[in-house]
Structure 1
Amino acid sequence: MIQRVQTIFLFLVVIAMGVTIGMPLWEQLQTNSGTGDSWNLTAFALNNFDASGELIQSSSKWYIGTLAAFAGLLALISIFQYANRGRQMLINMMNSLVMVGLVVAVFLTTNGINTAINAQEAGTYQIGFWTILVAMVANMLANRFIRKDEALVRSVDRIR
């Protein structure tokens, strides 16, 4: 049944991945170069702006957006697998791995930029990055409630 608690958590994963795709993930305001350049990472691009706010260069980071979209799609598929709780838990575990890969991809991308520009500060992670972590927690909670449902069904079968 779709009206279970884990459905709410899985829907939160879908929403969080949508926010991740739509919002900035990371921002480096001041670099060591003294020019006032800033860097902004979104789910699909890494942009370099000068002090006046003009775009200097942009590079595609499509893999971050693709991983976020795939994690949202897996959560959406998992919602409709309520008849097979084992498959639902398997999809959620795969989704956890995709989200860990997403965090690693963002982290490696930001560290690579900081190294390339010789930044003294690490920059700030924005709302798009933190929603990935919210999605991971919601996914773990959904798996917990799916396991509770499975244990309840097994205990009822044992009584019969």
Structure 2
Amino acid sequence: MLQRIQTLYLLVSAIVSAGLIFVFHLWVTNDGVKIFAIDNMVYFLLFVGSALLSLISIFRFKNRQSQFVLGRLNMILNFILLGLFVYRSLNLSGETVVSEKGIGIFLPIISIVFLALANKAIKKDEDLVKSVDRLR
């Protein structure tokens, strides 16, 4: 059913992954140029992939097990994205390229939190259905 709470969580995760990347910058260079996710194709594709996995997971509501697996895959994708951000920020020697980190670096963390909440609600629904099946 689309009116479940996990749908809301997955929708917020998709909005964070696909919409907020255009609003919040990832970092600012020494020249004062703001770098967004769309400026780097790898980051952009990972963010869009995360949003697509969230949207696909919303419409897999009839199969809760695959919805749960897609949520887990999406969390792994966001952890990879977060790892790339951490690697980029720690690998720079003396802040040569990046002078200021932006709030956009924390978007995968927000997405991971909402995906975890969605998976918790999906698991709760699955347990409820299993308990009702035992009574029949």
Sequence identity percentage: 31
Structure whose alpha-carbon radius of gyration is higher = 1
Say which SS state the counterpart of residue 44 (structure 1) adopts.
helix
Give the Cα separation in 1 of the matches to 2:5 and 2:72.
18
Say which SS state the counterpart of residue 127 (structure 2) adopts.
helix
Higher relative contact order (CA 8 A, sep 6+): 2
Give the Cα separation in 2 of the matches to 1:125 and 1:2.
37
Residues 1-160 of structure 1 correspond to what in structure 2 (within 5 A)? Answer: 1-22=1-22, 23-28=24-29, 37-38=31-32, 40-45=34-39, 61-112=40-91, 114-115=92-93, 118-119=94-95, 123-160=99-136
User: Any gaps of 5 or more consecutive residues in structure 1?
Assistant: 30-36, 46-60
Per-residue CA deviations over 1:35-58 (Å, capped at 9, x if unaligned) read: xx345332132xxxxxxxxxxxxx
Give the Cα separation in 2 of the matches to 1:6 and 1:109.
32
- Counterpart amino acid of residue 18 in structure 1: A
Query: How many residues matched?
Result: 134
User: Any gaps of 5 or more consecutive residues in structure 2?
Assistant: none
Per-residue CA deviations over 1:21-71 (Å, capped at 9, x if unaligned) read: 312112355xxxxxxx345332132xxxxxxxxxxxxxxx21001000000
TM-score by length of 1: 0.76
Give the Cα separation in 2 of the matches to 1:98 and 1:84.
21
Give the Cα separation in 2 of the matches to 1:25 and 1:135.
15
Pick the structure with more helix per residue.
2
Pick the structure with more strand per residue.
1
